[in-house]
Chain A
Amino acid sequence: MTEKRELRVEKIRDGTVIDHITAGTALAVLRILGITGREGHIVSVLMNVPSRKLGRKDIVKIEGRELSPGEVDRIALVAPKATINIIRNFEVARKEPVKPPTTIIDVLKCQNVACITNSREPVKPIFKVEGEGENIALRCYYCGALMSREEILKQF
């Protein structure tokens, strides 16, 4: 109900609304999605909005662009409860929770300075996703170092 009201307040015609983003992480979400603002879309960012489900939450609305699930699943790393609403002609055409991917390739750097991926080797950093929700963590495929959600956030 809450969401519906908010969607009405901030109605967009076509595009994507990312709802239930963990409060305070909207800017990290935008960075994960590679949205800088220079793409020309109208982007609205709401932070620390009261939410019945989460207490407080962030919301991101991108007009004129439909994000594909593969594109957005990575945001589950920092905002595990986020939902993706695809809006067409003011209506929610599709609504899905984000699902954390099982592997993250070439997005994050291993924070272990002694890790071989931080040298000049011809490899991309690869992480396996472990745990879920707030306890999500990434394990470096190469060195085995664990990166917690807080540590992941620092990179965005």
Chain B
Amino acid sequence: MEFKGRDIISIRDFTREEIDYILRTAERIERMEASGEPLNLLSGKFLGIIFFEPSTRTRLSFEAAMKRMGGGVIGFGEPEMSSVKKGETLADTIRVVENYVDALVLRHPMEGSARLAADFARIPVINAGSGAEEHPTQALLDLYTIHKEKGRIDGLEIGVLGDLRYGRTVHSLAYALANYEVTLHLISPPELRMRREVLLDIEGKIRVEQAERVEEVIPRLDVLYVTRIQKERFPDPAEYERVRGAYKVDGGLLAKAKPDLIVMHPLPRVDEIAPEVDQTPHAVYFRQVRYGLITRMALLGLVMGAL
């Protein structure tokens, strides 16, 4: 399977075979890492990281991934993007910056920005978040986490909890899961239900059930994916306070869950998962960070032709 030179813009650009191939490549990387030998697959290569909005975590993950593959990183953070403040278009920024590096990671507040960047760049572009739209590498690392922790993805009942309307990680995850034989439980307050276009796309491919309360579905779930509910999304703060409690994952809730339920979270969390959950076998969200590193190492290696 040829990935060299390929852009990673939307999870929807990938077939199940391609996703499975990425997951197998990640497993390969994980084995190589475990052997203790330094990986020099990307030595002499440079990754450009252009972030138009802050996300230290995602940035750190890509930077670590590139360096652990033996490559270098050139960061173009917000303060340095002074040309943008002077009114430069993204298309111009991309055509300048691509001369310095072998691949680009882009995070930008506008939707469709990564697709535009990829059309202008000759080198591969990886979307690290474009507006409320998509975050494909997060979706791939989420799949890798499920695959590693549960040994499979097909046949699972997967609950996604929280802000399904604005949360970009859940949109990409829903698209990614639509390639597998799963039942997807969408659990959110009515105000934050999954976007219509995402629903239209995934219904018919997989079973989708909507719920307002996590208690209703928790006994059936194999995976519970928790996301943050942001206060800013509610016009009425009282409504936020009312809703918040109903989406808290704690020991009481997990007492009703299957013993091998895994709880995932893209992090950072605020208070949607109680600290008491951390010590239970359900908690996989910190391992998820490690799976993220491995998945991004695999992706960088693939698009730069080193794997």
Contacts and interface: CB of A to CB of B under 8 A. Distances in A.
Interface of A: 110, 112, 114-117, 119-123, 139-146
Given A143-B131, A144-B10, A144-B133, A112 B89 contact: no
17 contacts: A114-B110, A114-B111, A115-B111, A116-B108, A116-B115, A117-B116, A119-B110, A121-B90, A121-B91, A122-B89, A143-B111, A143-B115, A143-B131, A143-B133, A144-B111, A145-B197, A146-B200
A143 B87 CA distance: 22
B188 interface: no
A82 B132 CA distance: 37
Given A121-B90, A144-B197, 15 more contacts: A116-B90, A117-B116, A119-B90, A120-B87, A121-B89, A121-B116, A123-B116, A123-B119, A139-B197, A142-B112, A142-B116, A143-B110, A143-B111, A144-B10, A146-B197
Interface in B80-105: 87, 89-91
Nearest to A147: B197
Contacts of A122: 89, 91
A144 B12 CA distance: 10
Given A119-B110, A122-B89, A122-B91, A142 B197 contact: no
Contacts, number: 63
B196 interface: yes
Contacts of A116: 90, 108, 110-113, 115-116, 130
Given A114-B132, A120-B89, A122-B89, A141 B111 contact: no
A141 B116 CA distance: 9
Nearest to A122: B91
Contacts of A120: 87, 89
